[in-house]
Structure 1
């Protein structure tokens, strides 16, 4: 009797494990691409609105409205604001992250939270507090001061998260080659922060382009404040659209610079063994200056705004706490914030996946479409949705669904930058290994990639929630009749110079935002595996 022996499996066999086929991406690249294209087309609705309105204006009128002295003044203000604010945010954000994560800073665990705390103060509340402290505050440098104190945490949080999970072996290797602490930082550590720095700088820049309330309070004119004046005061839609077209052009330049500076370097770590804990550098004589610097920074960015909000509450007395006024605003703010954060995070995944796992001109173009829309002022996005919904889908006009859709488009980059950073540090080889072991692509994605990216996604969702809590102009235009949020009620009171009446809404926004800011801190530590 002849026994037939099974042939041993080799790399050239036709078994499932040895065919040499490259595992399919989760869900299939084609499905993800289709979803990303649909999202991009939806995101381009406000831009299409601006283009259509511009074309309807006519070439001669458009040229006359764009190339005029007023536009030059607004352009100069906006560019100077960005040139001063973005570098300051990078210095404060990266410097604070390095002190907290890489030095023997006393109380570094407390400072890690406190440096993120200013994110809980809306920019227009920050401006409201500074105007209360210095009524004569106005102009460019006032705008730089308020914007820097409001937005530097957008750089600090991703930089601190990256430093906390950065393999100290690269610094040890630099030290073994004779590099001192400072030279190692600039030559080895700083390049590893490229994604965090470029993403954070982009977020700060987009905020500067779209911010209205903070600059309106200090009477500093930017494109956004001018567009609001055109739409709300003179109802000159043509002039407003021309200003919006210049704003979109500025955003396009920023996005091209960010994509180019991001590079294609790989930051994921693959290897055996556990990652060593980083050795913290002693500060010695610099301990006191570092403590004083951080105390001054948090006092100006968080302490002063909170102190003046509490001062106005004390001045207003118990009568400003009318439950029938602030409770509906509080509940509606929470509902819209949670719904918008969830929707935005889900929508951001296809874009982020293509950008990290399949980078190409196609993925960059899709990503670019979302950043362009998010850079537009909320009032432009709101008016675009009003016009399109009335003409194409009247049943959607003044519905919660339309308002949440506007939130998604306005704040998608907040989730996208975080998810992209998380995916960049989730090695695709782990997902491919799971598929090679027989896991279906979807299951491999859920158990491996999604779990590794979840902390970054939660951080992005928290950022979106914070943005929705503080959103003003789109909410005013798109919310259903009877909708009242904390931001809109605060703006209504403060616009009437009722600073005491506005204070409870400001405090509630801070109290809601504070736990989400702490969540960002916790999620950054979870991402670092601590």
Structure 2
């Protein structure tokens, strides 16, 4: 869209465009940059907490606590869990995406949605269902089973989106050079999925490091479960802080590995012309095995958890639906979810604005600070806010404000990525044209840029809302006395082996999460241009 101003004067005044000067950016870039710097500094509080506690402990004490047999056991468990789970998620996610997007799979549109559906079930609810089905589940391979079924959609969704927008011309070129379907997939298609696979693998690994409820329920010890035990027994003791420092170090290593694994190759199509429609590979005799494989995967990852939740609800009868029990938890969950999503979306705007309108090393550094913090497990962020609030602002300890602040730091990138994409689709020339026609900068920003960015911001807020509804560890540590969310009430009852009493809270979390998961799936397909 091109906007033209036919005269240098509008309403008898000389416009800034007529004098050849660029209109002032809304709010002033300096004010936005100052806000972004404050947000970045605030987001580094958890990392600062870990560094400070490590230094304050002293090298000899820290070394004695870190280099001990218990930490070695936790490290081995964590490494093995990651080594087994991440490749399985990659195989299931990429394999499912290829079947849905690149083969003649019958009902591929239905399977496309069903393979994303397990993301609507929190991992600790999945663990609760599997323990109900197989009470003897415990240990490493039980953790791998539950984590794989819970997190493979984190690979499937970006892989399916990438395959959907992949130009089939590269496959046709490979075929013309004599490569068969399988050789073409491994030599041509799979390298194009590199970014989606590394990004998905990073998300899976970070979720493995952060997860508490799913592994505690099957009695599998990880850094997160051990830190929670230390916190409950000694309240922020030195041993728990040192475990947190090792966990954060592990998270930073994963971030660095993901950045290095992206490489420098380009994956974008260069040139004009419409993209050809992808030719789907005939499955022939493999049609039935493919259908059975997807049916089994969906049944294990989504059908079984939902079935056991409904089974416990039937067993519990009408009394487990007492309004005075679950209604406060539902209302508080919605309140924290909506409040946290709103605050997170507003906080993300200054940084997204700088990243799009004024890109450079400064905006990238500010943005990176948020990604570092969001990669930390909720228990580390929770411990940081517990310590900081008690020592610096004790009147803020265990208040709703501190809990929402933790949500903001944990889930800011979910809003930031969406708002940044929305701002990129709102050309600054439209805003400048509005100012050239006499509209004040603030009003021009609201009427033009903010309105065009609103749908993307709403999508980001929805993703933050979904994350808050299912968040457990930070909520357990920071929630004010008397707070009852669906996640914490579910955890309280399931920890007391009251599986029937926990079932309504599990079902409500799934019902709330399902529309948000579908929105995430549709958003990924929209980005893919489908």
Report what 1:376 is aligned to: 376
Cα root mean square deviation, aligned:
3.5
TM-score (norm 2): 0.85
Report what 1:12 is aligned to: none
Report what 1:54 is aligned to: 54
- Give the deviation of 1:414 after TM superposition: 4.2
Q: Residue 156 in 1 paired to residue 156 in 2?
A: yes
CA contact (8 A) 2:93 2:159 kept: yes
Report what 1:504 is aligned to: 504
Describe how 1:319-334 pairs up with structure 2 within 5 A: 319-334=319-334
- Give the deviation of 1:150 after TM superposition: 0.5
Q: Distance in 1 between matches of 2:432 and 2:368?
A: 34
Report what 2:403 is aligned to: 403
Query: Mean alpha-carbon deviation: is it higher for 490-499 or for 41-50?
Result: 41-50
Q: Distance in 2 between matches of 1:270 and 1:25?
A: 33
CA contact (8 A) 1:209 1:375 kept: no
* Unmatched tracts of structure 1, length 5 or more: 1-15
TM-aligned CA distance change 1:236 to 1:346, over 3 Å:
closer
Q: Distance in 1 between matches of 2:364 and 2:180?
A: 38
TM-aligned CA distance change 1:64 to 1:56, over 3 Å:
same
TM-aligned CA distance change 1:324 to 1:116, over 3 Å:
same
Aligned to 1:518, the other structure's residue is in SS state helix
- Give the deviation of 1:202 after TM superposition: 1.3
Q: Distance in 2 between matches of 1:164 and 1:24?
A: 40
Give the count of matched residue pairs: 509
- Give the deviation of 1:305 after TM superposition: 0.7
CA contact (8 A) 1:33 1:350 kept: yes
Report what 1:93 is aligned to: 93
Describe how 1:44-443 pairs up with structure 2 within 5 A: 44-235=44-235, 237-268=237-268, 272-348=272-348, 365-394=365-394, 396-415=396-415, 431=427
CA contact (8 A) 1:371 1:413 kept: yes
Report what 2:6 is aligned to: none
Q: Distance in 2 between matches of 1:477 and 1:194?
A: 37
Deviations 1:250-274 (A, max 9, x none): 1111111111122344555565444
TM-aligned CA distance change 1:122 to 1:518, over 3 Å:
same
Q: Distance in 2 between matches of 1:449 and 1:173?
A: 44
CA contact (8 A) 1:434 1:444 kept: no
- Give the deviation of 1:217 after TM superposition: 0.5
Q: Distance in 1 between matches of 2:435 and 2:106?
A: 47
Aligned to 2:105, the other structure's residue is in SS state coil
CA contact (8 A) 1:374 1:413 kept: yes
Report what 1:5 is aligned to: none
Q: Distance in 1 between matches of 2:77 and 2:160?
A: 31
Report what 1:9 is aligned to: none
Query: Mean alpha-carbon deviation: is it higher for 382-391 or for 240-249?
Result: 382-391
Aligned to 1:106, the other structure's residue is in SS state coil
Q: Distance in 1 between matches of 2:29 and 2:89?
A: 37
Q: Distance in 1 between matches of 2:514 and 2:407?
A: 20
Aligned to 1:471, the other structure's residue is in SS state coil
TM-aligned CA distance change 1:164 to 1:68, over 3 Å:
same
Deviations 1:175-195 (A, max 9, x none): 344433333333333333233
* Unmatched tracts of structure 2, length 5 or more: 1-16
Q: Distance in 2 between matches of 1:242 and 1:427?
A: 42
Report what 1:11 is aligned to: none
CA contact (8 A) 1:23 1:432 kept: no
Q: Distance in 2 between matches of 1:169 and 1:239?
A: 57
CA contact (8 A) 1:127 1:214 kept: yes
Deviations 1:318-347 (A, max 9, x none): 111111111121122122223323443454
Aligned to 1:135, the other structure's residue is in SS state coil
Aligned to 2:175, the other structure's residue is in SS state helix
